[in-house]
Amino acid sequence: MNKFLLIILSMTLIYSCTSDENGNDDNIRDERYVVADYIQDTDFLYDLTVNENGDAFYYTEDGGGIESQSLKMINNNGNKKSLLTINHKNEMFSGLAYFKNNELLLLKNSMKKSTHEIVLKYNYKSNTSTKYKIPYYGNPSIFERGMRSLSAHNNDNILIFDYSLKTIRDYSLKSRTSKLILPADSFTEITDIKTYNNTIYIVDNSILKKITKSQSNEYEVSNLSAPSLKIGDMTIDELGIVYVHVYEKGIFKLNNNKLEKYLTGELWVSEDFNHIISDFKSFNDIEIIKDILFISDGRRLIKISNYKDKFFK
């Protein structure tokens, strides 16, 4: 493992990070240096999502995660603003996804015993929202219940991981009803859900999985990664290509149902007088929209336009 790098660029010392001894950075330019559109401080960032215009959305924990959570936006030009705040005494955000037409999907879990959870369809342009109550099946205890990770699905449906049932619910925003796509206890802990056309991709217990419909119209699950690769965040570009962050490795790309190294090794990035020397394995949140790469280490969000031209030979 390389020694920690200490560098002073301009007047600012940002930080250094060890490089991945298993990283394969043959596909990155030798100087490993790119200029970012912005490097924006985000406090503690959770559930990064972006829209088609390159605006980024996420929520943070305020007051050390004890007091409240805030939904925030960084627009295409790097300007940050707060959109919503909720009090931790009553509820907490547990999922965020972009829907369509300036709308976000926000999953809110009650901090008290409840028979349902809430999904907000929130329009960040008009600052208006529609509330949907999603009831639990049965009466799970406060330790067993919880709905986490959600994704837009088709035109007016959303997919939600129901922790109490350990499966995925397909919820219709029109009829306000849901159905299970697979029996209870089909999964362990889904931390990410994404869809492309009729294919569902999930990260379940750090394993990348694909869910498809068979000719008999039943859902089938297949594993796309080995347990030795610990999958974190996932994103899908406009062509349907899946990218994942692998802990202690970097960003991998799905090719013919197999993961291959995509962006690994050291990264030097700058924006004005803000400079970062790091490693792709340090960025646990990723999003790709068109040819724009968004990466975050949990405290900063970096936007890099035309990233393929900048990173690949």
User: What does the pLDDT read at residue 312?
Assistant: 83
Cβ–Cβ < 8 Å for 145, 112: no
Closest to 57 (Cα-Cα) out of 137, 151, 152, 124: 124
Q: How far apart are the first and last CA of the chain?
A: 26
- Cβ-based neighbour number of residue 128 at 10 Å: 10
The per-residue pLDDT for range 131-159, each reduced to its tens digit, is: 999 988 866 666 567 788 999 998 899 99
Q: SS3 breakdown of the chain: % helix, strand, coil, rounded to 5?
A: 5, 55, 40
User: What does the pLDDT read at residue 254?
Assistant: 97
- Cβ-based neighbour number of residue 176 at 10 Å: 11
Rounded CA gap, 49 and 51, in Å?
7
Task: State the Cα angle at 249 between 280 and 62, rounded to 5°.
Answer: 60
Say how many residues make up the chain.
Answer: 313
Residues of the chain with pLDDT under 50: 1-31
Q: Which sequence spans correspond to the domains of the chain?
A: 90-238
Query: CA dihedral defined by 270, 271, 273, 279, rounded to 10 degrees?
Result: -30
pTM for the whole thing? 0.86
Rounded CA gap, 51 and 105, in Å?
12
Burial of 272 (0-12, 13-18, 19+ CB in 10 A): exposed
User: In the numeric block, which tokens belong to residue 117?
Assistant: 């959870």
Chain centroid, CA 10 distance in Å? 33
Cα separations in angstroms, 207 against 131, 173, 178, 242? 32, 29, 26, 14
Task: State the Cα angle at 74 between 16 and 86, rounded to 5°.
Answer: 100
Cβ–Cβ < 8 Å for 262, 253: yes
Rounded CA gap, 87 and 105, in Å?
18
What's the CATH architecture for 90-238?
6 Propeller (2.120)
Cα separations in angstroms, 145 against 13, 109, 124, 284? 44, 9, 29, 26
Query: CA dihedral defined by 199, 153, 236, 54, rounded to 10 degrees?
Result: 160
Rounded CA gap, 95 and 58, in Å?
10
User: What does the pLDDT read at residue 106?
Assistant: 94
